[in-house]
Amino acid sequence: MPSPATLRFENVCRRFGRLSVLEGVSGEVAAGGALLVTGPNGSGKSTLLRCLAGLLVPEAGTIEHDEGDGSLDIAERRRRVGFVSPDLAFYGELTVEENLAFFARLRRAELACGLAILDRLGLPADRRAANLSSGMRQRLRWAWALMHRPRLLLLDEPFQNLDAAGERVTRELLREHLATGLAVVANPSPLEIDRVAGRLELGR
């Protein structure tokens, strides 16, 4: 049984030039729960998730992600998180399976795990990523994010462009992930998700 994972961030601030996007944002979530982040457009939800993923460095504040072996540094946090975001794209020249195989080698993950998720999501493995519809691309993002069995899942608009079947499967995947892992979910649409442990509203 893996040690319980936790995520705690305090007074996170991030600016882009003169524009202050995050000012003193704090929150925490432990294994088995999801932190729901909501707010209007431009309130900093995606920026917060990128900071938590290690893709942006906050100008102030602390982010502590512990998976039982001490707080991870930013490089290790980047490698371990599962991340679903509209900004995430894959190699259009490669097929879905080739994309997953490439990232599985980088992350030392099992391709079989990614293919099993693909199968559940009903995504054809032999189709080129450039030929995927927007809903199919979103399914590929989910398979990519879960393939290395992350403890922390960061989801930015996770159900965007999915049809009813796709949304049902991804909600199932999230529920299964939350049995042992934790998640920060920004702007799910519709807003209801299971196992919400806390809410954070930005831009108020």
Partner 1 sequence: MLPDASSWAAEATAVFAKEWRCELRTRYALSTLALFAFTTLVVVSVSLGPLGVTKSQGSAVLPVLFWIILLFSVAAGLPRSFVQEEESQTATALRLAATPSALFCGKLAYGLTVIFALEALITPIYLAMMSLAVRSPGLLVATLAAGGYGLAAGSTLVAAIIAQARSKGTLFAVMAFPVLLPLLLLSIELTRNAMGGEPAGVALSQLLLYDASVTIAGLMLFPTVWNP
Q: Which residues bind partner 1 (CB under 8 A)?
A: 53-57, 74-76, 78-79, 81, 83, 85, 87-94, 98, 102-103, 105-108, 144
Q: How far is the CB of 200 from partner 1 (least distance, A)?
A: 22
Of 105 and 199, CB closest to partner 1: 105
**Nearer to partner 1 (CB atom), residue 120 or residue 128:** 128
- Minimum CB separation of residue 141 from partner 1 in Å reads 9
Which three-class secondary structure state does DSSP give residue 140?
Answer: helix
For the bound state, the minimum distance from the C-beta of residue 87 to partner 1, rounded and expressed in Å, comes to 6
Residue number, 27 or 150, with CB nearest to partner 1: 150
Report the alpha-carbon angle 196-202-204, nearest 5. 125
Cα–Cα distance measured from residue 50 to residue 58, given in angstroms and rounded to the nearest whole number: 10
- Burial category of 136 from C-beta neighbours within 10 Å (exposed 0-12, middle 13-18, buried 19 and up): buried
Q: What contacts 22, CB < 8 A, 6 or more positions away?
A: 12, 13, 14, 44, 47, 48, 51, 58, 202
CB of 30 to partner 1, least distance (A): 23
| Shorter beta-carbon distance to partner 1: residue 105 or 175 | 105
